[in-house]
Amino acid sequence: MLLLHNDFIGYEPAEHNELFSGSDSEESYNKNLKSKSNDWYYRTNQISYIRNSNGHRCKEIKDIDLTNYILYAGCSHTEGIGLSLENTYPYVLSKLLGCDYYNLSIGGSGIDVLLHNLIVWFGTIKQKPKLVIIQWPFWGRYARFTEEPSNVNLQNNYISTISGIKDPTLMEGEGVHYFKTIEHLARIKIKHIIDVPIINVGFAEFPSITNDDFVIFDHLDSARDMHMGIESNKNLASKLYNRINKINSI
CB within 8 Å of 167: residues ≥ 6 apart: none
Bridge-partner residues for 141, per DSSP? 163
- The C-alpha atoms of residue 232 and residue 241 are separated, in whole angstroms, by 14
Three-state SS letters, the chain: CEEEECCEEEECHHHCEECCECCECHHHHHHHHHHCCCCCHHHCCCCCEECCCCCCCCCCHHHCCCCCEEEEECCHHHHCCCCCHHHCHHHHHHHHHCCEEEECCCCCCCHHHHHHHHHHHHHHCCCCCCEEEEECCCCCEEEEECCCCCCCCHHHCCEEEEEHHHCHHHEECCCEEHHHHHHHHHHHHHHHHCCCCEEEEECCCCCCCCCCCEEECCCCCECCCCCECHHHHHHHHHHHHHHHHHHHHC
Please say if the pLDDT value at position 162 is more than 80: yes
How many domains is the chain partitioned into structurally?
1
Stretch 221-246: mean pLDDT, rounded? Answer: 96
Confidence grade of residue 150 (pLDDT, cut at 50, 70, 90): confident
- Segment 86-138, tens digit of pLDDT: 999 999 999 999 999 999 999 999 999 999 999 999 999 999 999 999 999 98
CATH number at residue 181: 3.40.50
- Segment 182-228, tens digit of pLDDT: 888 999 999 999 999 999 999 987 656 656 689 999 999 999 999 99
Q: Which residue range is the domain that position 153 belongs to?
A: 2-249
Amino acid at 4: L
Stretch 18-34: mean pLDDT, rounded? Answer: 96
Cβ atoms of 55 and 112 closer than 8 Å: no
Which pTM does this prediction carry? 0.92
